[in-house]
């Protein structure tokens, strides 16, 4: 069972992985009302994207700030307070217990939801071992998911490959947000753990983060609409 009802068209989050605010604004104009939810990460965030996030929120768009915070508790808390003031819907932090605890406490009384990043979708078991972890990807994802749930995290970011297992662990209390989504026929790029939109929804994902297959498409709006159709079909909507 998945969390409370989410409008099918809100389940697609388009990643504005673009080099400038001007490029992002042009893409948003192109996509029009076909997209209601946008992700702003490092590239655009450091190029002036935070004021854009506030503007979009004021216009009724939902914003996912993918900043992957991880620092001492006080620094994380102050950062979360600043993000909440922008009107963002989601903010990512790395799934380390102290970081998650500080973020959850700092977002109290706001509408901001904290998402914990378990293991990046560009990592596989060999990458974790090279970084000094003894656990494999699936075991580390599950361990961090249990910690996140215990600490009151609102959602978990993981690859769609882990969605079904995570849904069994967290039940219907936590949102599952999955990058690494590639419609059939799309290039995989630097992602190693990927899935199609329909398969990800069927596995238990609530939100699908899609970047290049939309923003680099010949017709971005048509690409977004095709993903909406696939999501709706998977939901039986």
Supply the residues annotated as catalytic: 68
Residue 96 CA to residue 24 CA, distance in Å, equals 31
* Positive/negative CA dihedral, 45, 111, 203, 151: positive
- Residue 91 contacts residue 65 (beta carbons within 8 Å): yes
Q: How far is CA 149 from CA 24, 36, 169, 213, in A?
A: 34, 27, 9, 31
* CA–CA gap between residue 78 and residue 58 (Å, rounded): 22
For residue 69, the Cα-to-chain-centroid distance in whole angstroms is 14
Contact (Cβ atoms closer than 8 angstroms) between residue 188 and residue 130: no
What is the C-alpha separation between 213 and 201, in angstroms, rounded? 17
CB atoms within 10 A of CB 198: 19
**In whole angstroms, what is the distance from residue 24 CA to residue 11 CA?**
20
């Amino acid at each position: 069972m998945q969390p409370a009802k989410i409008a099918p068209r809100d389940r697609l989050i388009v990643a504005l992985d673009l080099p400038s605010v001007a490029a992002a604004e042009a893409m948003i104009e192109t996509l029009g009302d076909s997209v209601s939810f946008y992700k702003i990460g490092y590239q655009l965030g450091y190029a002036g994207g935070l004021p854009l996030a506030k503007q979009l929120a004021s216009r009724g768009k939902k914003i996912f700030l993918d900043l992957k915070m991880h620092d001492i508790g006080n620094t994380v808390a102050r950062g979360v307070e600043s993000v909440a003031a922008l009107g963002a819907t989601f903010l990512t932090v790395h799934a380390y217990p102290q970081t998650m605890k500080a973020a959850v406490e700092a977002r109290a009384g706001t509408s901001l939801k904290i998402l914990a990043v378990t293991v990046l979708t560009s990592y596989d078991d060999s990458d974790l071992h090279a970084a000094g972890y003894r656990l494999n990807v699936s075991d580390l994802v599950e361990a961090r998911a249990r910690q996140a749930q215990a600490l009151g995290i609102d959602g978990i970011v993981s690859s769609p490959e882990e969605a079904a297992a995570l849904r069994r662990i967290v039940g219907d209390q936590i949102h599952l947000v999955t990058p690494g989504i590639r419609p059939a026929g799309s290039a995989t790029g630097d992602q190693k753990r990927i899935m199609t939109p329909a398969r990800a929804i069927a596995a238990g994902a609530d939100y699908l983060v899609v970047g290049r297959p939309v923003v680099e498409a010949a017709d971005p709006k048509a690409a977004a609409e095709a993903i909406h159709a696939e999501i709706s079909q998977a939901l039986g909507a």
